[in-house]
Amino acid sequence: MSFPLTPEQDMIVETVRKFVETEIYPYEDEVERSGHVRPELAEAIKAKTQEIGFYGCNFPEEVGGAGLNHLEFALVERELGRGSMALTHFFGRPQNILMACQGDQRERYLLPAVRGERMDALAMTEPGAGSDIRGMKCHARRDGSDWIVNGSKHFISGADHADFVIVFVATGEDQTPRGPKKRITTFLVDRGTPGFVMRDGYESVSHRGYKNMILEFDDCRLPADQVLGDVDGGYDVMNTWLYATRLTVATMAVGRARRTFDMALNYAAEREQFGQKIGRFQGVSFQLADMITEIDASDLLTLSAAHRLDVGLPANREIASAKLYATECLARVTDAALQIHGGMGLMNDLPLERFWRDARVERIWDGTSEIQRHIIGRELLRPLGC
């Protein structure tokens, strides 16, 4: 597939791809078998990322980032998507939402995050509130100028390595014609704050070593300057900054799908059965044809959505289409690639069974496939008064 990229953008792709092949691939089996990332390995990946100036590359230059645009950042994410998420986590891309930091929050959270001194995690989901964040139960009440937080969050990725967590908490409720609607406020919560504990979450079939954690707040007292954005402004913060994060799931899916496809293609060109290469059977070659067509389509959908963000066009529908299609494509591609490898595809001598398992979560997190379809349908029909 080709897409008009500048020589610099081509080089960004080359460099990140090479980094992933050299610094990530060799350690994937270790993470897969042990279920965790050794601290020295994590530090080494982080240090190398900083050395080549890619750490926090999604942030503007004035806060120490590289100022990549959405398209360039999508290319970075796409190439990172080839590698284990547990490891590429340390090729740090802090949450863009930190740009909402004001006053001394910039020195305490934003700048150290971009410098790689402090790592973040983002906590929205609760056991009772997944797709429907309005059902959030975790809440904060005022006590003088402080806030007292109670409740819990689960499935919080990367929180085991986080020095602080960006947490969305209910701070009231409004009655609307469409039922009660929670007011939400975003808080910055440091690890070690009294009344705040993190514990291991569940064992997931996808992305071993990339842990999800449970966060518990028990009368956790937070001063007013821990509020990110405005009080009751959680939806604004989300809409401004979390709008584009779904796109990273799509781009990572494209990178992983290409890595998987290349293995299937090479295997089909080499494996012989019935006296010939299995790629000569249409049953196999047609699968490859469908795979590459869908991968190219996913790639173009994601790059085009990123380009829309860069030129300031509405992109909500396009991001949802990209996230939906690219993650469903990854599921089909990993399944077909495994099938082409026959019985060996299932064995952990090859990374295919891992790609196949890892693909499963992509259709769930950052908005399930159904929620993406819901967004697409709403964007199409609402303007028609439906």
Partner 1 sequence: MKALVCVKRVIDYNVKVRVKSDETGVELNNVKMAMNPFDEIAVEQAIRMKEAGAVSEIVVVSIGPKQAQETIRTGLAMGADRGIHVEHDGELEPLAIAKMLKALVEKEEPGIVFCGKQAIDGDNNQTPQMLSALLGWPQGTFASGVELNDAGALITREVDGGLEDIQINMPAVLSVDLRLNEPRYASLPNIMKAKKKPIDGTTPADLGVDPAPRLTTLKVTEPPARAAGVKVASVAELVAKLRDEAKVI
Ligand X SMILES: Cc1cc2nc3c(=O)[nH]c(=O)nc-3n(C[C@H](O)[C@H](O)[C@H](O)COP(=O)(O)OP(=O)(O)OC[C@H]3O[C@@H](n4cnc5c(N)ncnc54)[C@H](O)[C@@H]3O)c2cc1C
Nearest approach, Cβ of 365 to ligand X (angstroms)?
Answer: 4
Choose which of 85, 252, 278, 322 interacts with ligand X (CB under 6 A): 278
Residues 6+ apart with CB under 8 A from 189: 149, 164, 165, 166, 167, 196, 220, 222, 226
- Determine the interface stretch with partner 1 among 12-20, 234-242, 311-319, 374-382 (rule: CB under 8 A): 12-20
Name which of 153 and 258 has its Cβ closer to ligand X.
Answer: 153
Residue 52 in contact with partner 1, rule: CB under 8 A:
yes
Q: Give me the residues paired with residue 197 across strands.
A: 216
Nearest approach, Cβ of 135 to partner 1 (angstroms)?
Answer: 41
Residue 135 in contact with ligand X, rule: CB under 6 A:
no
Residue 130 in contact with ligand X, rule: CB under 6 A:
yes
Q: Which partner from the list ligand X, partner 1, none does 200 bind, CB cut-off 5 to 8 Å by kind?
A: none
Choose which of 26, 35, 53, 377 interacts with partner 1 (CB under 8 A): 53
DSSP output for 83-152:
S-HHHHTTS----GGGGG--TTHIIIIIHHHHHTSS-EEEE--BTTBSS-GGG---EEEEETTEEEEEEE
Residue 19 in contact with partner 1, rule: CB under 8 A:
yes
**HSE of 374 in the Cβ direction (CA atoms, 13 Å)?**
7
Total residues belonging to the chain: 386
Q: What is the rounded CA–CA span in Å between residue 201 and residue 51? A: 33
Residue nearest to ligand X (CB): 130
- Determine the interface stretch with partner 1 among 8-16, 152-160, 221-229, 375-383 (rule: CB under 8 A): 8-16
Footprint on residues 58-77 left by partner 1 (CB under 8 A)? 66
Name which of 243 and 281 has its Cβ closer to ligand X.
Answer: 281
Tally of CB atoms within 10 A around 34: 11
Instruction: Give the residue from 136, 140, 161, 126 showing the smallest Cα distance to 222.
Output: 140
Nearest approach, Cβ of 373 to ligand X (angstroms)?
Answer: 8
Tally of CB atoms within 10 A around 148: 17
Q: What is the rounded CA–CA span in Å between residue 105 and residue 251? A: 30
Q: Is 130 exposed, middle or buried (0-12, 13-18, 19+ CB in 10 A)?
A: middle
Name which of 314 and 342 has its Cβ closer to ligand X.
Answer: 342
Instruction: Give the residue from 333, 262, 336, 266 showing the smallest Cα distance to 297.
Output: 333
Q: Which residues are at the interface with ligand X (CB under 6 A)?
A: 122-125, 130-131, 155-157, 204, 212, 271, 273-274, 278, 281, 283-284, 339-340, 342-344, 346, 361, 364-368, 370-371, 374
Residues that bind partner 1 (CB under 8 A): 6-8, 10-12, 14-15, 18-19, 21, 48, 51-54, 57, 66, 266
